[in-house]
Amino acid sequence: MLVLTLAGGYAVGDLFDLLPGRFTLAPVPEIPDPFPTAPGAVGATELATALEGLSDAAPVPGAPAVTELVTELVDHEWLNGSEGVSVLVTDVTTGSVLAAHRETQARVPASTIKILTALAALDALGPEATLPTRVVRSAADRITLVGGGDMMLAADQGDPAAVHGRAGLGDLARTTASQLRLAGQTEVSLFFDDSLFTGAELHPTWESSYLNGGYVAPITPLAVALGARRTDVPYPPRFLDPARNAAEVFAKALAEQGIVVDGAPRRQDAPEGAQEIAVVHSATVAEITAYMLVHSENTVAEVLGRLAAIGTGLPGSFDGAAQAMRNVVVDAGLDPTGLKVVDASGLAASAGVPATVLAGLLEQVARPDGDPTLRQVALGLPVAALEGTLIDRFGEAPGAGMVRAKTGSLPGVTSLAGLLLTADDRELAFVVLADDTGEGGQLGPRKAIDQFVNALAACGCS
């Protein structure tokens, strides 16, 4: 009887929707209208391009007019004599030479050689590749921080919108600590593995002032903020052992997460078969390459050179990087006669590159029917008067916004190599290498070169 009473009570509750069930006294709702569609909605249409492609019918500057500009440049007093200058101007579409002066003579390229570095890295690694910084565990109380080539690690939290500092050691430490706590481990020995690169960390031909002046750091596959001891100056002093400094920063970050690190971090290769427990990733190779070109960042260039070497089966060393860069020139079908690659940054004054090599590579990366991966080099070159090493050059002159180029500067060396759009919308490749400008500094030679490039950009001289 009790069961029947309860059952009857529940049924009444169900009917009046006081309790869940299949019965109800509520009116049956009308069939709802179909889900509304957006007024005027239509299928996706093909996106229009923001800018039309350049017309092959755009007038080509006349060779006599361009030759006259080249003659004025090489005879300019600020370049200290025409024998120390090489110039080459070509039409990108046809590859035809518009004017040239000692174009096959190899000259000290300074940072214009970074064009070769960028091509080698993009070709070997691909534009979407990233550089991992990992933590592996080989025993309950033993972990190893493994460098994968990222020397731009942030000390704490990474910034997903940045190239320099995309990945952070603090983030890596938080993930590592979480994994260790899950395993019941709160005390570890910390090792660090920087064995990805081999050979010297500083090139023996570099001036000691390059390190002391903050122009480059010892090249390792693991570092915080490019090995800088401070970040409030353009050329900061560097740690002599950037990988060890990174490991110490990581150890401190682990301690802040409650993980006790037994002693100081020790350098040792990660054991084979060690389990990965945490990883952070750098910006993409395309982003890193553009950063290197825009800011002419020497340390990043050397890292990319080594990574390009490793990506093609060569040692991750100065020699391996140089070979990878030479291979890019040969693979492009260009004559390597006179080419001498010493480093990936252009700091070596013993290097030599003919203007024909740089111009040939620039033509290939600029052509719309070329390899889209390698075209990232053209897109990564700094824009005149707008960014990077060209931000304070060209001003409101004809070349402003119309020139993309890589600068090069060493004592007695001033160079510029890039692409420009003329007043008639014709794209040209140009290379100026001056490696005997004397002791007058960079200001005069740069002005002479900028005047020449501005004249080319303004040229309606068909």
Backbone angles phi, psi at 195, to 5 degrees: -85, 0
**Residue 368 token pair:** 């719309």
Measured between alpha carbons, how far is 215 from 345 in angstroms, rounded to an integer?
Answer: 10
| CATH number of this structure's domain 63-125+290-457, picked from the four choices 3.20.20.70, 3.40.710.10, 1.10.10.10, 3.30.230.10 | 3.40.710.10
Q: What is the pLDDT of residue 260?
A: 97
Task: Provide the CB-side half-sphere exposure for 317 (13 A, CA).
Answer: 8
Average pLDDT over residues 141-146: 98
- How far apart CA 74 and CA 100 sit, in angstroms, is 10
pLDDT exceeds 60 at position 2: no
Point out which residues pair with 378 in neighbouring strands: none
Rounded distance, CA 339 to CA 351, Å?
Answer: 8
CA triple 213-290-336, angle to 5 deg: 85
Note the pLDDT tens digit of each residue in 201-256: 999 999 999 999 999 999 999 999 999 999 899 999 999 999 999 999 999 999 99
Residue 415 to residue 48: CA distance in whole angstroms: 38
**What are 407's strand-pairing partners?**
416
Burial (CB count <10 Å: 0-12, 13-18, 19+), residue 447: middle
Per-residue pLDDT reduced to its tens digit, 423-444: 999 999 999 999 999 988 999 9
Q: Indicate the Cα dihedral angle 15, 16, 19, 24, nearest 10°.
A: 40
Mean pLDDT (whole number) for 183-192? 97
Domains 63-125+290-457 and 130-284 share a fold: no
Q: Over pLDDT 90: what percentage of the chain? A: 84
Across the beta sheet with 413-421, the strand order is 97-101, 85-91, 427-434, 413-421, 403-410
Looking at domain 130-284, its CATH class is alpha beta
Give me the pLDDT at residue 47, please.
37
Q: Are 416 and 453 in contact (CB under 8 A)?
A: yes
pLDDT-based confidence at 48, cuts 50/70/90? very low
The tens digit of pLDDT for each residue in 307-317 reads 999 999 999 99
Size of the chain, expressed as the number of residues it contains: 462
Question: Which pLDDT belongs to residue 39?
Answer: 42
For residue 370, what pLDDT is reported? 87
| Percent of the chain whose pLDDT exceeds 70 | 88
40 has a pLDDT exceeding 90: no
Measured between alpha carbons, how far is 139 from 342 in angstroms, rounded to an integer? 42
CA distance 71 to 452: 10
CA dist 136 and 293 (Å) reads 33
The amino acid that residue 267 corresponds to is R
Domain boundaries, given as residue ranges, for the chain: 63-125+290-457, 130-284
Assess whether pLDDT exceeds 70 at residue 46: no
Q: Which two tokens stand for residue 307?
A: 């990574």
What pLDDT score does 53 carry? 62
Whether the CB-CB separation of 88 and 69 falls below 8 Å is answered with: no
Per-residue pLDDT band at 460 (split at 50, 70, 90): confident
Give the β-pairing of 187-193 and 260-261: parallel
Average pLDDT over residues 100-119: 98
Mean pLDDT throughout 295-312? 98
pLDDT bucket at 461, cuts 50 / 70 / 90: confident
User: What is the rounded CA–CA span in Å between residue 298 and residue 346?
Assistant: 8
Mean pLDDT along residues 321-331 = 98
